Amino acid sequence: MIGTFGGALEARKIDASNGRLRAEVRGEIESDQGVLVIRRVHVHYFLDAAEQVRETVERVHRVYADKCPVYKTLRPAFEITSDFELTGATATEGTQ
């Protein structure tokens, strides 16, 4: 997912290379008749970018998952959400 998001940002001239785009992933696991099952995964992206690109990043974030092979493969099995944070800016988060 990070590759698809980063590629979409790069296509819009937002540098996501060399560690500028990072992700922290949290999964929630539940027991289903004694078997551990992934139920939800949340991806929190950190992007080192200026506040001026926020609108473009928000647009990309809203649509990138629909073009992501990993998301399209795993989404039928469990819920996947993501948000982003612009680091180095006075940023709050965008959510999906």
Q: What's the confidence (pLDDT) of residue 91?
A: 43
pLDDT level of residue 6 (50, 70, 90 thresholds) = very high
Selected residue with higher pLDDT from 87 and 89: 87
Dist CA 24 CA 14 (whole Å): 20
CATH number of the domain enclosing 21: 3.30.300.20
For residue 94, is pLDDT > 90? no
**Is the Cβ–Cβ distance between 51 and 91 less than 8 Å?**
yes
What pLDDT, in 10s, does the model give residues 7-28?
A: 999 999 999 999 999 999 999 9
pLDDT level of residue 88 (50, 70, 90 thresholds) = confident
What pLDDT, in 10s, does the model give residues 38-69?
A: 999 999 999 999 999 999 999 999 999 999 99
Range of the structural domain that residue 35 is part of: 2-95
Total of domains in the chain: 1
